[in-house]
Structure 1
């Protein structure tokens, strides 16, 4: 079938709207009519060449839609089901899956054989699928383990945000760091992921949640998501400000930017025994420098892959959190744009002034 998609031909160049071909669903594959796709900073990393990816390709990975067709042996979903996609495609058979760490699965069994016809093509030639999804297109063809069905009363624009940013931020708080009621938390960077981490810390019952950014509007927004305190990083050293506010540092910090300095700052602002969780995508080749003696205080630094999710369990629960008013997704959406405006959406993202734009199909 034919579909409209935003194609990346080369890093550092605008995406181009093209008509592409999508193959019929094969065994265990599902065809989805895309409803909304979030414009995530992770995609921008690939556009800017900070992470390499074969081209041409269709980016996009934070999405929700409606099932249109299923392939052989698919029993989990049927035509008409509402679904959220997730880049944490799991095989269900490898060591990571069998030990409950499905977000780390990288099994090739959920992809098509490289020698066979691929899911996407462009003008008769190969078109690379981005992390099993490619959601900057009006249709997606994915493995059934790349999606989760959700209740039909969940608005699909909000549901799309759960597919990456919200799951990543909230999951890092719940699963990776395991924040407990009463703990002190700092969140550095208040884009979609950072605001979700603030919201997750509030749901987890953190006693103090310090939101840190350089944009005043985002600091104000963080208060609506549950921040008890805000720090303007442009007005002085955020590490010094956090340590003064807390009398020595926080128990948990979350880096949601993807920079060397903010990762190092997250470690520096910890109290003894604290844990820094790096959520942001730090560019390839970047080295993080930490002061060795700090480890004698039992401080820890760790990464988080998509919030250490078990998305088929987690995402329906996040939908329930939203529908009962705990998850603040309405304020997370900065704007709704058409596919033809996708380069404008990335330009807005680069300004740092928006939380999350979504592409509406």
Structure 2
């Protein structure tokens, strides 16, 4: 099968022929139909985060089940599915207490003694290592995953929009509804209006937030944020202190802030813009080794700062619900897609992300 392979940090992905294994007892073989090009992939391309190489990248995807292992019970051949990068075992402590997004059980992955899910064959039939990226590797024509890394959805849902639910939309909407538990009428600020930030704004609107403040440096992104539900905007290129601007705009700060960029300065600002009792949620991937600094006295007002991983999801329940939200017109996905591309164009999509352009590209497979 064709796949986009990262062989060296900082270098373009290479389109190669990669071999894929057959499903084990709890595994599912999926024909990839669409894959979003997410900023999280770019973090690994640029080296902000590390991963075993060579690796087939991609982690935001949708497809059709081609084959299932002997013990698979959650999906069947022919199902349309959305994938999720955090597979869960279903019986560890975090799973049993309702936090399946935090499961890191090794049983959802193949052990080192097993044959790899992905590998490279040379002309003589010898095989070489090929790492699976975030349990998925969706920049490829096929995916081989644990059954708890995908969920079946209704078949009238378009694949290119379904793919976005697999990461950016679940991350943003989930952070609002699950991680921070935004209530109707509360105030929300979102720093960064890329794919995740726009989904966060949309999630806040669905949750009934009273005021939703979008913050970005690009006027075009701020205009787009209004279509997703932002009631106010702050142009970060025009103010010296975004936290101060939000406090003044709201008369004391917001109940919930969401940092969707992954920078030290914006993470700190997300905490500073809270009212007493408010909660800051860091969604962005802050580079490894970066530390943030906060004023200790601010905690006396019961302000909180916390991380959010994949929107604290229960994805087998959440993703089909998000599909229904889209089909009923509540969730905006069409507007997130800047263009639809072929696998061979994946590097141009990364260039688009580096330039900070609107929305995101989606790879569409024939």
TM range (shorter): over 0.9
Residue 196 of structure 1: SS of its match in structure 2?
helix
Of 273, 279, 292, which residue of structure 2 is paired with 1:275? Answer: 279
1: CA distance, partners of 2:249 / 2:349:
36
2: CA distance, partners of 1:41 / 1:283:
13
2: CA distance, partners of 1:39 / 1:30:
22
Q: Which residue of 2 aligns with 1:298?
A: 302
Deviations 1:34-76 (A, max 9, x none): 0110011111000010111010001110000001111111122
1: CA distance, partners of 2:196 / 2:154:
23
- The alignment status of 1:311 with 2:309, answered yes or no, reads no
| 1:112 Cα offset (Å) | 0.9
Equivalent residue runs for 1:12-161 within 5 Å: 12-123=10-121, 124-161=127-164
TM-score, normalisation: structure 2: 0.97
1: CA distance, partners of 2:141 / 2:128:
20
Contact 2:168 2:199 (8 Å CA) reproduced? yes
Unpaired runs of at least 5, structure 1: none
2: CA distance, partners of 1:216 / 1:40:
21
Contact 2:220 2:358 (8 Å CA) reproduced? no
Q: Which residue of 2 aligns with 1:200?
A: 203
2: CA distance, partners of 1:77 / 1:240:
50
2: CA distance, partners of 1:113 / 1:260:
36
Contact 2:278 2:302 (8 Å CA) reproduced? yes
Of 285, 290, 296, which residue of structure 2 is paired with 1:286? Answer: 290
1: CA distance, partners of 2:335 / 2:48:
29
Of 226, 230, 233, which residue of structure 2 is paired with 1:227? Answer: 230
Query: What RMSD over aligned residues (CA atoms) do the two structures have, in Å?
Result: 0.7
1: CA distance, partners of 2:267 / 2:111:
38
1: CA distance, partners of 2:110 / 2:255:
44
- The alignment status of 1:183 with 2:198, answered yes or no, reads no
Deviations 1:262-319 (A, max 9, x none): 0001001111111000000000000010011101111100000100000000000000
Q: Which residue of 1 aligns with 2:244?
A: 240
| 1:239 Cα offset (Å) | 1.4
| 1:131 Cα offset (Å) | 1.2
| 1:355 Cα offset (Å) | 1.2
- Count of residues in Structure 1 that have an aligned counterpart in Structure 2: 359
Q: Which residue of 2 aligns with 1:350?
A: 354
Contact 2:258 2:281 (8 Å CA) reproduced? yes
| 1:324 Cα offset (Å) | 0.4
Q: Which residue of 1 aligns with 2:269?
A: 265
1: CA distance, partners of 2:330 / 2:248:
30
